Structure 1
């Protein structure tokens, strides 16, 4: 099917991909900030490859957009950066210092970013059957990586949540929160 005959298809695909690009930008920034906040811990070490892969996924999406002649809408990326920064203002039960609960919530948010990326890769993989500009092997690889990222983030989230929500007196005094 020739996209010149169906400009609405290309326009809608452009909106969709730019929305996912904004989500990728948000994910990269959030993952970097979390790794920085947890610097010196095993969590930060485990997040390092995730941050690298998130960055590679963003570049991969930009390459796909170029191959599909979809222009980047920079205002969407700017909006996602503003949303990411606003998200840092959430209440976490602490005023001055970072709450351990923040890490749990951020790991959940990163998991949602991965689920969104996987949904995009699956949709593009389906389109690859009729659009020769899309490489099905590359999309399969991106889908596999998203699965690994989701598994890693879920493992980290559960491990951290167990520490945070462990009853006081079971070695979790450092994680006890007030209010």
Structure 2
């Protein structure tokens, strides 16, 4: 494997984790008074921790974090605000569904990242037990986000 391939891969996930961190924080705040508010706050806190763990892995592997990837993730999260949702001034509940689906997809991608790193563990000296915990945690996060999505769908499309 070319040495830059792993760096590109990890930095692409760093961009995604930046988007996920901001989006999960937004959803936790937006849905704080719903039955899923505490679960989404937990997901947001864990997503931020997971992003830091990715940065720690990158440091351990000698992969520098590329600032342009960080800013790409930040910009992607901000661009979601431009999405037309059938409303001019107010926020649509449809936006919440799309944001929950986007977050769920991001969590699924993060799970695949941890699984990929598990395959590299023997050769790279990564913490296998910690990566397995992160895979399980991503599955739990996906379930919590899915429950919030289903609940929101029930309200919007009833």
When normalised by structure 2's length, the TM-score is 0.95
Greater length-normalized contact order (CA 8 Å, ≥ 6 residues apart): 2
CA shift digits 1:23-82 (9 cap, x unpaired): 001001011112222343333322110000000000100110011000000111101111
User: Aligned partners of 1:115 and 1:63: how far apart in 2?
Assistant: 20
The runs of 4+ residues in structure 1 deviating greater than 4 Å are none
Counterparts of 1:162 and 1:40, CA distance in 2: 17
Higher normalized helix content (fraction of residues): 2
Within 2, Cα distance between the matches of 1:62 and 1:19?
12
For residue 102 of structure 2, what is the aligned residue in structure 1?
109
The answer for the alignment partner of 1:160 in structure 2 is 152
RMSD: 1.2
Does 1:90 find its partner at 2:83? yes
Instruction: Give the structure with higher Rg (CA).
Output: 1
Count of matched residue positions in the alignment of Structure 1 and Structure 2: 158
Q: Distance in 1 between matches of 2:80 and 2:29?
A: 16
Deviation of 1:155 (Å): 1.1
**How far apart, in 2, do the equivalents of 1:146 and 1:87 lie?**
23
The answer to whether structure 1 residue 135 and structure 2 residue 138 are counterparts is no
* Structure 2: 5+ residue stretches without partners: none
Post-superposition shift, 1:150? Answer: 0.7
1:36-75 map, 5 Å: 36-75=29-68
Question: What stretches of structure 1 of length at least 5 have no aligned partner?
Answer: 1-5, 167-179
